[in-house]
Amino acid sequence: MDFVSGFFYFFAAVLLFAGFRVITARNPVHAVLYLMLAFSHAAALWLLLKAEFLGIALVLVYLGAVMVLFLFVVMMLDINVDALRVGFWKHLPLALVLGALVSAELMAVLWAGFPTATASPAVTGAMHAPDHRNTYELGRLLYQDYLYPIQVAAVILLVAMVAAIALTLRGRKDTKTIDPGLQVRVKARDRLQVLSMPPAKAAAPEATNKEEQA
C-alpha cells in the first residue's frame, strides 16, 4: 500500500463513520458537526483525485456557509428531541423498506455503469497537459453534456426553497412590521382630522370661603 492509498482509506473510513453518526446522533447539533466532518473528508478525497476545484468548492460553500448556517439555526431553534422521537419505532419498518429499496436502486445503477465507464486520467495516474484546467472540464460537463439534468435539479431546488419558506412563514399578531403598501397609499386626511369645536367660556369665579359669602 502506497502513501496515497493509505490516505484514501483513512479519509474514506472517517467519512463513512461521520455519515453514520449523522443519522444516529441523538443531539441535532452533534449531527450537524458530524456532517461538517463528513464534508471535510469528502473534500480531502476530491483533492486526492486531483479535482482541486471540487474540493475547495466543497470546503468554501458547504463548510464555510451552508453548514455554519445550519449549525446556528439548529442551536437557535432549541429542538425538543424527545418530542421528535415519539413514534420512531412505529415507522421504523417502513423506513427500513424504503432504505433497502433506495440502496438496491443505487447498487443497480452503479453496477450497470461500471463496465462501460472509462477511467479518468486522475485515477489511472496519467499526467495532464500543462495548460489543463479542471474548472474548464467541469464547466463543459455541466453545461454541455449534463445541461438538462442541471436545469431540472435547479428547478427542484427552487420549488423546495419556495415551499419551505411558504410552510414556515406564519403571520404573528405581536409583530411590529409595517406594510409599505399602506405607507404609500396613505393620505393627509387619514393622518390629520380637523374638528370644529365651539369656543370655551370662562368659568364663573366661585367663592373660596363660604363664611365670607355669609
Cell 476530491, located at residue: 46
Task: Give the domain ranges of the chain.
Answer: 1-79+119-132, 134-167
Could you tell me the mean pLDDT of each successive run of 10 residues in the chain, 214 residues long? 84 92 83 88 89 84 78 69 70 86 85 58 56 76 84 88 75 71 78 78 59 56
Give dist(CA 205, CA 117) in Å, integer: 109
List, in order, residues 6 or more apart from 67 with CB less than 8 Å away: 32, 35, 36, 39
From 56, 59, 52, 53, select the one nearest 38 (Cα to Cα). 59
CATH class given for the domain over 1-79+119-132: mainly alpha
pLDDT recorded at residue 123: 46
Q: Which three cell numbers stand for residue 146?
A: 449534463
Q: Which three cell numbers stand for residue 210?
A: 363660604
Is pTM, for the whole model, over 0.75?
no
Give dist(CA 114, CA 120) in Å, integer: 13
List, in order, residues 6 or more apart from 27 with CB less than 8 Å away: 81
| The CA-based dihedral angle spanning residues 31, 35, 36, 42, taken in that order and rounded to the nearest 10 degrees | 160
pLDDT recorded at residue 122: 47
Radius of gyration of the chain (CA): 33
